[in-house]
Amino acid sequence: MIDRYQKHSEALLKQLPKGVFITAKGNDVTNTMTIAWGHIGVLWGKPVFIAYVRYSRYTYDVLLQAEDFTINVPVEQDVREALKIAGTESGRDIDKFKKANLTLKPARQVNTPILADCKLQYECKILYRQSMEPALIPDDIKARYYPNHDTHIVFYGEIVESYMLEE
């Protein structure tokens, strides 16, 4: 499995700073959000994707009820408008999938669906959640990224499947 996720890691890491979608399904509610921070690596001998989600985000509420999430990476697709909608509007207030014209498709191994509009998919089972400790964040970073004290919770997801849709 580690080889499989590594096969696609370059495409993921190239797109991540521009935005990818994290999608989660909990209590029969599915939501997606744009993220531009994340990591892939190995933890406890398992391939993992590590995602950061602010407490204030609706996606955080959904992830608390979820057992898994998907990372949906536009590789050759132009989904800039959808990334903008998913990153600036709340699923509490709108149906992001409808407004951003995104299509859900069943995942191969997890309960959360994937976005058919993205070529590269990572399916992840939540292994661990961790709160950031604000007192340990350097002052210059707090001033820049957390002026309202809205820190992140870190979600560690075991990558159980990684593939391009035409595979």
pLDDT in tens, 78-126: 899 999 999 998 999 999 999 999 999 999 999 999 999 999 999 999 9
Provide the pLDDT for residue 167. Answer: 54
CA distance 87 to 81: 10
Provide the pLDDT for residue 70. Answer: 98
Show the domains of the chain with their CATH numbers. Answer: 2-164 (2.30.110.10)
Q: Is the torsion defined by CA of 128, 129, 134, 135 positive or negative?
A: negative
Contacts of 40 (CB under 8 A, 6+ apart): 5, 9, 12, 13, 47, 48, 49, 50, 159
Contact between 123 and 110 under an 8 Å Cβ cutoff? The reply is yes
Residue 52: is its pLDDT beyond 60?
Answer: yes
The residue behind tokens 């340990």 is 136
pLDDT in tens, 127-147: 999 998 999 999 999 999 999
- pTM of this structure: 0.93
